[in-house]
A and B are shown apart, each in its own frame.
Chain A
Amino acid sequence: MDLIVEGLRKAFLLIFSLDAGLMGIVLLSLRVSLTALLIGTALGVPTGALICLKEKFPLRHLALNILNTAMGLPPVVVGLFLYLLLSRRGPLGALGLLYTASAMIIAQSILAFPIVASLSYAAISAVPPLIRQAAMTLGAAPFQTTMAIVREARYAILAAVMAAFGRLSAEVGAVLIVGGNIAGRTRVITSAIVLETDKGDFSEAIALGVVLLSISLCVNIALYFFSRRGRATGYLWA
């Protein structure tokens, strides 16, 4: 119990003193996870829309099963495969990406993509067919019709993005393997917690844990606020 109390005390000291080491780790974590989330969303939403809305999409059920399975991909497995691809003797070794933030972003993008794609598919398929017909009868081109349908699913898609962010911010296996947990370069909150726990510096680990939880809470509150406001007014951002 003393360890936890001491850990919490140190956590608040570190946070409120804006400790440079801690800030570096936090900022890198945010950069990696938010960039990966952006990539996963940019690829995942169109993929979900394509599978749902394209008539005669080849092997639709197989594609959905693959996406649903990939939602539960173990991060260490993703990390391992990416490590083999990016290691010096791997097919992409020449790129020199192993143990860089870029490798961590790629790993987390792979984890985010199926979550966003699969949940976007579910969100878009729940939009009533009347919306498609309404857009078509008012003169929407096929792409504009798709955009009208995706727009109707925007709150559920936002929830999909929130779910993906939750997964990325808590992920440690993949970033540890492809990032290497190098201080100042690839050390993020989760990998730092693992290191500090191994070292027995529980207070530092708890401090990082508090920061991680705070970030998740802030992001979720912000997204919830936008979502609630959107449902009430019909506008997501305005």
Chain B
Amino acid sequence: MGLTLSVSELKKSYGGTVVLDGCSYRFEGGGVYAIMGPNGSGKSTFLRLCALIEKPDSGKADFIEEGVVIEHGLALMRRITLLLPSVGVFNTTVYENIAYGLKLRKVNKAEIEHRVLNAAEMVGLKDKLRRRAVTLSSGETQRMGLARALVISPSVLFLDEPTAAVDAKNSKAIEEIIQNIRHTLKATIILSTHDAGLAERAADTILTLRDGRATAL
């Protein structure tokens, strides 16, 4: 089941430019949320801070399970994941890329194979598992990134502009995958997008980020 994420008074500046100015919101466990906003409104920064790969200047992001706040640390980091708009591709096979998170978690080999095959099938890359990942197209790379995130069954899945860098066909495929995983994964899903259609179709709640603050529409 997805974790609840309570964000309070998040502030972040880069070189004197305020990006987030006291952003607060509570994302309920298992919900699907879309964050919209103009370029430079801080959507990516917000997701990076929530996914704990960057530290805020002030404020906090608490992950809550059954009313208890989970302490920040590696155990929590392994229950959340963020798919970036540009997927960092490890120079190895597609299979090894998807299996990476499972290997970190010391999952046994048979289980890794089973889960990688399932994830690859879900994103339509089952026949490309032995290919070098760096030879994939941008749409396939994005789908591989999605499989890499899905395979670890995260409790919270952050998707930063998941359809921004792909063509219409891949965009539709990725949207279908997102629709599919909201039922199978039962994770809390928070995605940022410029695509109002995607936000409406995929999310239960749409937020806008403006002037460094989040507001529900």
Given contacts A141-B74, A234-B96, A234-B132, are A134 and B90 in contact (CB under 8 A)?
A: yes
A17 close to B (CB within 8 Å): no
Quick one: which of A127-147 are within 8 Å of B by CB?
Answer: 128, 130-141, 144
Interface mask (B76-87 → A, CB under 8 Å = 1, otherwise 0): 011001111011
B13 close to A (CB within 8 Å): no
Q: Which residues of B contact A139 (CB under 8 A)?
A: 74, 77-78, 81, 101, 104-105, 152
B179 close to A (CB within 8 Å): no
Q: Which residues of A contact B87 (CB under 8 A)?
A: 130, 134
- In Å, the complex CA distance between A148 and B92 comes to 11
Tell me the nearest residue of chain B to A134, going by C-beta: B88
CB distance from B73 to the nearest CB of A (A): 10
B133 close to A (CB within 8 Å): yes
- In Å, the complex CA distance between A180 and B155 comes to 66
Q: Which residues of A contact B88 (CB under 8 A)?
A: 128, 130-135
A152 close to B (CB within 8 Å): yes
- In Å, the complex CA distance between A225 and B6 comes to 53
Quick one: which of A165-192 are within 8 Å of B by CB?
Answer: none
CB distance from A210 to the nearest CB of B (A): 38
- In Å, the complex CA distance between A135 and B104 comes to 10
CB distance from A225 to the nearest CB of B (A): 18
Interface residues of A (CB under 8 A from B): 128, 130-141, 144, 148, 151-152, 233-235
Q: Are A137 and B90 in contact (CB under 8 A)?
A: no
Q: Which residues of B contact A234 (CB under 8 A)?
A: 91-93, 96, 132-134
Interface residues of B (CB under 8 A from A): 51, 53, 74, 77-78, 81-84, 86-93, 96, 100-101, 104-105, 132-134, 148-149, 152
CB distance from A64 to the nearest CB of B (A): 25
Q: Which residues of A contact B148 (CB under 8 A)?
A: 134, 138
Q: Which residues of A contact B105 (CB under 8 A)?
A: 139
Q: Which residues of A contact B84 (CB under 8 A)?
A: 130, 133-134, 137
Q: Are A133 and B53 in contact (CB under 8 A)?
A: yes
Q: List 19 A-B contacts (CB under 8 A).
A: A128-B88, A130-B86, A132-B88, A134-B84, A134-B88, A134-B89, A134-B148, A135-B100, A136-B77, A137-B83, A138-B148, A139-B152, A144-B104, A148-B100, A152-B91, A233-B132, A234-B91, A234-B132, A235-B92
Q: Are B92 and A138 in contact (CB under 8 A)?
A: no
- In Å, the complex CA distance between A136 and B54 comes to 10
Most central of A139, A144, A148, A151 by chain B CB within 10 Å: A139
- In Å, the complex CA distance between A137 and B154 comes to 11
Supplied contacts A134-B88, A137-B53, 13 more A-B pairs, CB within 8 Å: A128-B88, A130-B86, A130-B87, A133-B53, A133-B88, A135-B88, A138-B100, A138-B149, A141-B104, A148-B90, A152-B90, A234-B92, A234-B93
Q: Which residues of A contact B81 (CB under 8 A)?
A: 137-139
Tell me the nearest residue of chain B to A153, going by C-beta: B91
- In Å, the complex CA distance between A177 and B170 comes to 66
Most central of A130, A133, A144 by chain B CB within 10 Å: A133
CB distance from B81 to the nearest CB of A (A): 5
The 10 closest A-B pairs by CB, nearest first: A134-B88, A130-B88, A139-B78, A234-B92, A138-B101, A137-B82, A131-B88, A234-B132, A136-B53, A137-B81
Q: Which residues of B contact A138 (CB under 8 A)?
A: 81, 100-101, 104, 148-149, 152
Most central of A133, A138, A152, A235 by chain B CB within 10 Å: A138
- In Å, the complex CA distance between A151 and B93 comes to 14
Q: Are B92 and A140 in contact (CB under 8 A)?
A: no
- In Å, the complex CA distance between A148 and B97 comes to 11
Q: Which residues of A contact B92 (CB under 8 A)?
A: 234-235
- In Å, the complex CA distance between A64 and B93 comes to 34
- In Å, the complex CA distance between A140 and B92 comes to 17
Tell me the nearest residue of chain A to B97, going by C-beta: A134
Tell me the nearest residue of chain A to B101, going by C-beta: A138
Q: Which residues of A contact B53 (CB under 8 A)?
A: 133, 136-137
Q: Which residues of B contact A133 (CB under 8 A)?
A: 53, 84, 88
- In Å, the complex CA distance between A234 and B133 comes to 9
CB distance from B28 to the nearest CB of A (A): 22
